[in-house]
A = this chain, B = another copy of it.
Amino acid sequence: MMVDRLAALAQPHRLAVFRLLVVAGPDGRLAGDIATDLGLPASSLSFHLAHLRRAGLVRAEARGRERRYAADFAAMRGLVDFLTENCCSGAGCAPASVAA
């Protein structure tokens, strides 16, 4: 599950898509706009968006024939929390403001 989220972000195009959606904020972006911004063929973008969606990192909302994708910040936070708790413990690896 966390492995799926990691795998979803462990691919350059998908990481770029996700970062773009983070910048876009809660309203997200339309699939077509994402494709244009990143210069990805529609079918490739669709493949990667589906991957991110399966991993729970993005949500999709259909409006007419368009589809609006947005980052799921709670899921992302869940991932960061997982990494902090399971991959940082006992060794001062947590962010400075937490460790302090």
Binding site for B on A (CB under 8 A): 2-3, 6-7, 9-12, 15, 18-19, 22-23, 25-26, 71, 73-74, 76-77, 79-81, 83-84, 86-95, 97-98
Copies in the complex: 2
Q: Judging by beta carbons under 8 Å apart, are B91 and A22 in contact?
A: yes
Q: Judging by beta carbons under 8 Å apart, are B93 and A95 in contact?
A: no
Chain B residues with Cβ below 8 Å from A94 are 77, 80
Question: From DSSP, what is the main secondary structure of chain A's interface residues?
Answer: helix
Q: A73-B93, A83-B83 are in contact. List 20 more A-B contacts (CB 8 A).
A: A3-B15, A9-B10, A9-B83, A9-B87, A18-B87, A22-B88, A22-B90, A22-B91, A25-B91, A71-B87, A74-B93, A77-B92, A77-B94, A77-B95, A79-B83, A80-B83, A80-B84, A80-B88, A84-B95, A97-B97
How many Å lie between the Cα of A89 and that of B22 in the bound state? 7
